[in-house]
Amino acid sequence: MEEMIFNMADTHLFFNDLEECDQVHIDDVSSDDNGQDLSTYSFATDGFHAAATSANLCLATGVRGGVDWMRKLAFRYRRVKELYSTYKNNVGGLLGPAKRDAWLQLRAEVEALTDSWLTHALKSLSIISSRSNCVNVLVTTTQLIPALAKVLLYSLGSVFPIENIYSATKIGKESCFERIMQRFGRKVVYVVIGDGVEEEQAAKKHNMPFWRISSHSDLLALHQALEFEYL
């Protein structure tokens, strides 16, 4: 599965170009985008990669490249956003027939080995996303581009809109939580669902209830709480 995630990230989501130019959120460089039509744009020949590797222009030092280079970076993130939105309910269409079959087989094996973990998790996530007054927001320590590939390959694209996905690789989960609170405001109720110490501490700091998931019974309890509208 890891191989498939990085394969998708490299092949379709420009990870070769963007690995050193990681962002927290898909729209973080959108202000550098001039909105030009990308339907006939050649990403392979625009010179971005050569510029990126020779100067290491986007390491975490905050050094930004020239205007032209930043625009090319923004184009890539826009294209990733388009691909995600187009294929989030049709990942097989992005993979093509041969890889699609291998993917479906792998997914079936993962489900069998984990006692349908994903199916159980998806039930809860689907209830949340079907409510008009609720949204799912994902905060992950994975870099943004591989995280998007992962979400797509686990068929979670339908319950996580791309603008609700945050990568904590560079800034940590607590800073991501702060960004999310700035975006949605203080008047909404946040519930943190997770299995790690980092998100539990961040939840505690911001007085958010934390629902720990460490076993199937936790997932089933979450589903019941949502189904009976305790949550």
C-alpha to C-alpha distance for 164 and 87, rounded to whole angstroms: 17
Residues making up the annotated binding site for Mg(2+) are: 195
Give residue for tokens 């946040």. Answer: 190
User: In terms of DSSP H, where are the helices of 88-170?
Assistant: 91-95, 97-113, 117-130, 144-153
CA distance 222 to 231: 8
Q: Render the burial of 113-127: b for 16+ CB within 10 Å, e for the rest.
A: eeeeebebbbbbbeb
Find out whether 33 and 2 touch, Cβ atoms under 8 Å: no
Binding residues: 195
User: What distance, in Å, lies between the first and last C-alpha atoms of the chain?
Assistant: 32
Tell me the torsion sign for CA atoms 36, 41, 46, 48: positive
Q: Which residue has the tokens 């690789």?
A: 169
Tokens 């020779």, residue located: 54
